[in-house]
Structure 1
Amino acid sequence: MATHERLGTKRLVVGAHYGTLDFIVQRCTAIIMAVYTLILFFGFIFSSGMSFETWQHLFVFHVGALPVGQLLATLAFFSLAWHAWIGVRDIWMDYVTSAGLRLFLQVLTILWLVGSIVFFAKILWSL
């Protein structure tokens, strides 16, 4: 089959939606982060003064017994970490040609993200 015959609907397609899940996850995590940013923005705008207690209340408010502020912040941070993992992993896969170096950089990225999540959880959930 010649190259010009593989164009259009008769093209040879390899792989089965390898990037579709990552595409959907990045869009969903972006939406979660945008909504959380709006929540923080309106919380900041409608708060009276910006003291430490007011700033802390943006992240630890409760509805009944449910720590909604902490849960929303945790969801937003996990979304940020997953979003960053997909983006940075794709950068390593696209631009680093050495398989060993790429694996090393991906492991460093994972360690950095896991460390960030642990540090975040330690700070937020100790308030």
Structure 2
Amino acid sequence: MLLELLTAKYPGMRRWLTQRLCAVSMALVLVLFWIRVVWLSPQGYNDWLAVFAPLWWRLLMVWFFVCMLLHAWLGVRDVLRDYVPQLGVRAGLQWLVNLAVWGNALAVVWILFGMDF
């Protein structure tokens, strides 16, 4: 039954499930972040740099932001489809959203991997 709902026959169900799985994943990463910050209790810039220094943690942060951007993209896409009836206006707004998502993704990678740890 569940696999049938995830087929091409019901594309909305895949988007809905993707958005929910992204939300659960982000919640788990936020709990891990809170535990890590409480455990390490960073006080200054160098301490915060040490929080993000391990490669595994930076990869987890990239996963968090991929989930967040996918979650946001799906949500905004659905809002635009529901409330912007003109196809040209909707396409232009979606293009701006896509540009913002890719810009944010590049910024996250640059910040997490472009800095010297």
| TM-score, normalized by the shorter chain, greater than 0.5 | yes
- Indicate if the aligned counterparts of 1:89 and 1:106 stay in contact, CA closer than 8 A: yes
Hey, which of these two has a bigger chunk of helix by percent?
Answer: 2
Aligned residues: 108
The runs of at least 4 aligned residues of structure 1 exceeding 6 Å deviation read none
- Indicate if the aligned counterparts of 1:40 and 1:58 stay in contact, CA closer than 8 A: no
Alpha-carbon shift at residue 49 of structure 1 (Å): 4.1
Q: State yes or no: 1:94 paired with 2:87.
A: no
* Counterpart residue number, 1:10: none
Larger deviation: 39-48 or 81-90? 39-48
- Indicate if the aligned counterparts of 2:73 and 2:98 stay in contact, CA closer than 8 A: yes
Code of the aligned partner of 2:74: I
Residues 83-121 of structure 1: per-residue CA shift (max 9 Å, x gap): 000000001000001100000000000000000111111
Q: Residues of 2 paired with 1:82 and 1:48: CA distance?
A: 30
Q: TM-score, normalised by structure 1?
A: 0.79
For residue 45 of structure 1, the aligned residue among 38, 43, 67 is: 38
Identity score, percent: 29
Q: TM-score, normalised by structure 2?
A: 0.86
Task: Provide the alpha-carbon RMSD of the alignment.
Answer: 1.4
Structure whose CA Rg is larger: 1
The higher relative CO (CA closer than 8 Å, separation ≥ 6) is in 2
Residues 11-32 of structure 1: per-residue CA shift (max 9 Å, x gap): xxxx921211101111111111
Question: Which ranges of structure 1 fall in alignment gaps of 5 or more residues?
Answer: 1-14, 62-66
